[in-house]
Chain A
Amino acid sequence: MQGIEKSFPGVKALRGVDLTLRSGEVLALLGENGAGKSTLIKMLGGAHQPDQGSIRICGQPVNLSSPISAISAGIGVIYQEFNLVPRLSAWENIFLGRERSSGFVERNTERRRAKELFEQIGVPVPVDTPCGELSIAQQQLVEIAKALSQDARLIVMDEPSAAITPQEVERLFHIIRDLKSRGIGVIYISHRLDEIFNISDRVVVLRDGQLAGEGETRSLTRQQMIEWMVGREIQNEFPKIRHTRNQIRLSVRNLNRGSMVRDVSFDIRAGEVLGMTGLIGAGRTETARLVFGADRFESGQIALDGRPLQIRSPRDAIRNGICLLTEDRKGQGLILTSSVRENFGLPNIKDFARFGFVNQTKERLAFSKYVDQLQIKIPNQEQLARNLSGGNQQKVVLAKWLERNAEVLIFDEPTRGIDVGAKYEIYLLINELAKQGKAILMISSELPEVIGMSDRILVMHEGKITGEIEDATTATQEQIMEMAVA
């Protein structure tokens, strides 16, 4: 790729980016959200076209005007949101749109081919199960098989590790090394620097649509990459400050719901950050949803400051000073079609309203306080939420809960898909909230984050709490993993 430029209305997403990938090379593409990574790979996938610049494969200029032309050029892009039809089986998805023959599906041939592909990858995936019922990791494998079946010479993976467990990541790396040995080039996008060191040969860092740095992975340090990404120095990835923990604020006893949450009990003290981790599907998010009233629990008690609470809906929880920052920002955290101001105002609207009329001046004033404090980058408050980068979206969600001045804050994967700079700011904010004596439950799959930011750690497995580490400073990743697979 040479001299790629792309503008969207109001934004220059890419300004003259060059990128080369040799066959059999794993190239890590790094950058904060909004740096232009997604735009770049969407061009490779044929979803966007560059305004300027050219793309060449083996020296031949190619015109990637549509997803189909990208496929035939030998480029397979695995987006964060998979392109799978949930109701169709793995083999049907692999061959979707490329069914051979004259209108009839060659069921047996396709099934056999699909099985062969999974054998090549080295992981058995049930080929007849509808993709919607497969785990995220399995769906990812279906996507990889799909790319392989199209004879891809270049596979792009956009944050493939974001939603899968450490073991699954390990297996994915195994597959990537295998692809590499077959001469397939891989572009690997991730925010997790550990992975970058583990898997990539070369690193390219984008910042503000430009190349910020490039180099052999071996010769680079973590520090160097982060500096390229943020454009300034960061001393400490996890700026944890420990506060004296006081009396118990939130107390959860024997919470149950089906097989996802079984007999879960825990306390959070004032000024404490309780880290909660475990594998995907261990019941962490489900527990959080029960405490917040998003789902109803079958049995159990929740008390705040010793006072038992009746929580039947999120409204009840919010009224009682509990709030939840959901893991799925776009699906559950924001109204993407509304302005950021309206998103901010939603749970707080009664504070700005009299006789049912919203005082927008008051609302705007309250929000602008957070825009400054959290450094939310928006041209104005009427900006639609969907136009913001992940980090800024998360800050809007944070602002709306901070305005509630809640006593218990549940953060479910607060830094997922967020760039290093914004991550750091969120950590500082968590410190500040703890200092104010709030009770904080931080759910995260990123073990360094859990260890680095929590006071105490709970580990869940199959709906139960299987381990507790009283002092997070003593925790190791191995210790946590052991509890998580218990």
Chain B
Amino acid sequence: MNNAITRFLGTNPLVRDYGMSFVLLLLVVLFSALTLKQQHPTGADAGRQVADLILERNNKPRVVVVTRNTPEDIEFSNAAVKRLEENGARVLATVRGAAPDAKQAIEAALKSGEAIDAIAANDVTAKWTVYDRFPEVGSGKCVVPRSYTWPDFLKVSNLLGVANQTAIYAIIAIGMTMVIITSGIDLSVGSLVALASVCVSILLRDWFGGLSAGVAAVLIASTASIAVCAAAGAFNGFMITAFRIPPFIVTLGMMMMASGLSFKLSMGQSIPELPSSFFWLGRGHIFGVPNPILLMLALYVIAHVVMSRMVLGRYIYAIGGNEEAARLSGVPVKRVQLAVYTICGALAGLGGIVLTSQLSAGDPKFGLMYELEVIAAVVVGGTSLMGGQGKIFGTLIGAFIIAVIKNGMNLTDVDPFNQKIVLGAVLMIAVLLDTLRRKKGHR
């Protein structure tokens, strides 16, 4: 039985290279099925849909638009009003609030002698009972958007949210993948996130005038902070290559040092004095896709090219596969290791900048335990801790497997303690698969 599993894992190329994508797909299907339910749309599209429904039934209708006072409902209301008025309807009143507001508005409309042909509502406001108090209106006049069945998990907003939250882990995991493929490890990335966050916000606050800092200042401060983290990574690499101290110890030391430094610099405080141009990176979007996701994808494409097509990537795999053989084949082992730890530090710094931008403040408490999340993503993505083997896109899939499990469990109301247990088990299963695969590879 065990034999059959190992044979399957080891020899089937589909499973070997893309096994984790199947797992991800399976999870998506699972959580889609579990979160399937009736969806009541609201927002601009729903508003236009309701307007069209009303216009179909009546010629030049007189309409009251009733919504709550939430951002999505306001979009709904604006779109509905616009579409109605463009097509010759008269909007007698637009209600944005609670049931009493609706009552008032309808009363006022009726008092002024108008008849109401339809009420544009959504699933919540249509359930209000106020309409039945007016015999000439009645809840029968409510028009609501068509509802449909769709998983909560697969809603675009949820998916983008998941991707947006994962982006930072995934970005840092690129560097970690490279480090782990050289059969090293970097525990300092979490602390470097905090260091970058504190550095960039202090630079902006104290040197560039805080809230009033310009775009150039933001660029300079961000670059400088990333450079600080790259330098910390380079220092890791230097200690590892020059003195042959195990990476685990060096980066554990750096983890403490960087964390201590960020608390010292920030005096333990969060730093919210950041200019609005700084938020573009973390909170802006292009064509509806949040910038962190775009940044992440771009970095993954670059990293994939580096690892599969460039000399540096070839050297990284070679060192992890057999450091001595690589050295004897003329690979500049120390330079490559130095480069890899520097890249890892820089990407952790970049992750810190994005996180700061997303959360609108610098904070020395950011990045706590990120190193473990990131290592987990790398391992789940199929990179071997023994070095020499692994794929960049595997890591992206690994990061998303973890993110999807977390999100799915949130949506299905699994309590946070159980979530931790599940995530731990997932990590172990990933390593188990790797071990079985490895067993089959040897003979």
Contact = CB atoms under 8 A, between A and B. Distances in A.
A336 B329 contact: no
Contacts of B443: 8
A315 B332 contact: yes
Contacts of B419: none
Contacts of B310: 353, 356-358
Nearest to A353: B311
Given A9-B10, A358-B310, A358-B314, A336 B321 contact: yes
Interface string A442-467: 00000000000000000000000000
Interface string A320-337: 000010100001111111
Among B11, B320, B322, B388, chain A packs the most CB atoms within 10 A around the CB of B322
A335 B388 CA distance: 8
Contacts of A126: none
Interface stretch (A344-352, A371-379, A426-434): A344-352
Contacts of B317: 335, 337-338, 342
Contacts of B7: 9
B442 interface: yes
A338 B328 CA distance: 15
Given A332-B324, A332-B328, A386-B441, A342 B11 contact: no
Contact of A338 (B309, B318, B327, B332): B318
B6 to A, nearest CB: 11
Contacts of A356: 310-312
Contacts of A314: 327-330
A350 B310 CA distance: 10
B314 A315 contact: no
B314 A342 contact: yes
Interface in B303-354: 309-312, 314, 317-318, 320-322, 324-332
Contacts of A326: 328
A294 B331 CA distance: 12
B311 A292 contact: no
Contacts of B311: 349-350, 353, 356-358
Contacts of A400: 329
B330 A332 contact: no
B330 A336 contact: no
A326 B322 CA distance: 14
The 9 A-B residue pairs whose C-beta atoms are closest, nearest first, are A335-B321, A337-B388, A346-B329, A337-B321, A318-B330, A9-B11, A347-B330, A347-B329, A335-B322
Interface of B: 7, 10-11, 309-312, 314, 317-318, 320-322, 324-332, 388-389, 440-443
A336 B309 contact: no
B312 A346 contact: no
A443 to B, nearest CB: 15
A314 B388 CA distance: 21
B11 A331 contact: no
B319 to A, nearest CB: 9
A356 B310 CA distance: 5
A361 to B, nearest CB: 12
5 contacts: A9-B7, A331-B322, A346-B330, A353-B311, A356-B312
Contacts of B327: 294, 313-314
B325 A345 contact: no
Chain A, interface size category, equals 20 to 34
B17 to A, nearest CB: 12
B384 to A, nearest CB: 8
A54 to B, nearest CB: 19
Nearest to B324: A332
Contacts of B331: 315, 346
Contacts of A292: 328
Nearest to B384: A337
Given A336-B321, A338-B321, A400-B329, A358 B389 contact: no
A41 to B, nearest CB: 14
B328 A294 contact: yes
Contact of B318 (A294, A315, A346, A353): A346
Contacts of B318: 335, 338, 342, 346
A342 B322 CA distance: 13
Contacts of B11: 9-10
A356 B302 CA distance: 13
B328 A333 contact: yes
Contacts of B440: 9
Contacts of A294: 327-328
Contacts of B320: 337
B87 to A, nearest CB: 58
Contact of A315 (B330, B389, B441): B330
Contacts of B314: 342, 345-346, 349, 358
A384 B438 CA distance: 13
A384 B388 CA distance: 12
B78 to A, nearest CB: 51
Contacts of A353: 310-311
B339 to A, nearest CB: 12
A335 B328 CA distance: 11
**Residue among A314, A326, A345, A357 facing the most chain B CB atoms (10 A cut-off):** A314
Contacts of A342: 314, 317-318
Contacts of B388: 335, 337-338
A319 B326 CA distance: 15
Contacts of A335: 317-318, 321-322, 325-326, 388
Interface in A281-319: 292, 294, 313-315, 318-319
Given A332-B324, A346-B330, A357-B309, 10 more contacts: A9-B7, A314-B327, A331-B322, A332-B328, A338-B317, A342-B314, A346-B314, A346-B326, A353-B311, A357-B311
A324 B330 CA distance: 11
A416 B11 CA distance: 30
A337 B326 contact: no
